[in-house]
């Protein structure tokens, strides 16, 4: 099942995000979880990272949560954990 994981950065998250970007990318590149789509969400200026959107193909919500909690951005509090939304995602086309 597809799950969309939408995470917004906390106010002080940008410097931590930038300092740990390589660790985050390494996690995404080495995980056994099937990632369908992953990328930054930008602020209104269209360039400054302000969060992340990741769509994973997993068996259930618990797997999606485990994947998300293993991400360095999660562990280092880049994301405002109160803002994280994890929802089943229905693929309509393709």
Each residue's pLDDT tens digit, 10-39: 999 999 999 999 999 999 999 999 999 999
Residue 84 covered by a domain: yes
Give the other-Cβ count within 10 Å of 51's Cβ.
Answer: 21
Domain count across the chain: 1
Distance between CA atoms of 31 and 21, rounded to whole angstroms? 16
34-86: per-residue pLDDT in tens?
999 999 999 999 999 999 999 999 999 999 999 999 999 999 999 999 999 99
CATH code of the domain covering residue 65: 3.30.70.1060
Domain of 6? 2-89
Backbone angles phi, psi at 60, to 5 degrees: -160, 175
pLDDT of residue 65: 96
pLDDT at residue 92 is higher than 90: no
pLDDT of residue 94: 65
Provide the 3-class DSSP secondary structure of residue 54.
strand
pLDDT of residue 91: 74
Residue 57 covered by a domain: yes
């Amino acid at each position: 099942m597809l799950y969309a994981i939408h995470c917004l950065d906390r106010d002080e998250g940008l410097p931590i995000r930038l300092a740990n970007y390589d660790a985050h990318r390494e996690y995404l590149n080495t995980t056994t979880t099937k990632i369908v789509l992953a990328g930054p969400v930008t602020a209104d200026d269209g360039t400054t990272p302000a969060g992340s959107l990741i769509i994973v193909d997993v068996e259930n919500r618990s797997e999606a949560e485990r994947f998300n909690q293993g991400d360095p951005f999660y562990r280092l509090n880049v994301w405002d954990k109160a803002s994280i939304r994890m929802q089943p995602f229905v693929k309509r086309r393709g």
